[in-house]
Structure 1
Amino acid sequence: MYRAVLIKGKTYSVMGHVFHLNQEKEIEKKVYQYLDGNEFFDCKQLDVPADDPKTDDQPKEKPSEEEEEPQQEQKIYTETELKDMKKDGQEAVIVDLGGDPSEFKNESERIAFILENQQQQEKAGE
């Protein structure tokens, strides 16, 4: 069993989970591996029996960057999708893109930031 707590920012959305500041949440192993080492999270592995065959052959260390790469792929949101989102969903996307949601006064500014940063990431990835 794995748990994660968001310790920086207001909200954070990753792999189908939406985290809110200081709220502990049970997560799957792949989410734990993705978030472990992220400065925004405090991650814990709990209750791992010593004789559990599922964990005996698994490395305890963090996966290499190569193994993490596919998980880090960002979803590209359209303007319509962003307008349909609630404020905390937009803020979670902003955090995923490395922004600070408190810097934006309204929905239009949040959406503009997300669209602009998605374009920059697409260009950087080419």
Structure 2
Amino acid sequence: MYTAELIKGKTYAVMGHVFLLNQVKEIEKKVFQYLDGNEFFDCKQLDVPVDDPKTDDQPKEDEEPVKEEEEPQQEQKIYTEAELKGMNKTEQEAIVIDLGGDPAQLKDKSERIAFILEHQQQQEKAGE
């Protein structure tokens, strides 16, 4: 099991996770690998076997070995308007930041939602 805690800044959104300052969240291995070493986070691996810390990386007999990529790909979650309306301001602002925007430039909830929906569409088109 892996955890990450945001120790600098107010919010941070990455790979479908929204982190709030001083909040410990359980994360997947790929998110841990992406955030480990980032000065804004305190990342921990909680289930390291005492006898063999590399066990996690070795494929089991019936599994194909996983090919590691040079950089982890950021899987951008696509949010619906209904999901965004159900989020609080902090969560919306974290997504705006993740999309490269400045939440201070957006006056209210409707502007944040419009910004997120528009930039998601632009990123989808750019990724095709």
Runs of at least 5 residues in structure 1 that lack an aligned partner in the other structure: none
Q: 2:40 & 2:46 partners in 1: Cα distance?
A: 20
TM-score, structure 2 normalization: 0.65
Bigger CA radius of gyration = 2
Contact 1:9 1:100 survives alignment (8 Å): no
Residue 91 of structure 2 corresponds to 89
Backbone CA RMSD of aligned residues:
3.1
Residue 112 of structure 1 corresponds to 114
Runs of at least 5 residues in structure 2 that lack an aligned partner in the other structure: 59-67
Q: Residue 76 and residue 27 in structure 1: after superposition, are their counterparts in 2 closer, same or farther (change >3 A)?
A: closer
**How many correspondences in the alignment?**
119
Matches within 5 A, 1:5-16: 5-14=5-14
Higher helix proportion: 1
Residue 61 of structure 2 corresponds to none
> What code does the residue aligned with 1:92 have?
A
Matches within 5 A, 1:1-126: 1-14=1-14, 17-38=17-38, 40-46=40-46, 48-52=48-52, 55-56=54-55, 58=57, 63-65=68-70, 68-69=72-73, 72-126=74-128
Q: Residue 10 and residue 27 in structure 1: after superposition, are their counterparts in 2 closer, same or farther (change >3 A)?
A: same
Q: Residue 22 and residue 101 in structure 1: after superposition, are their counterparts in 2 closer, same or farther (change >3 A)?
A: farther
Seq. identity, %: 76
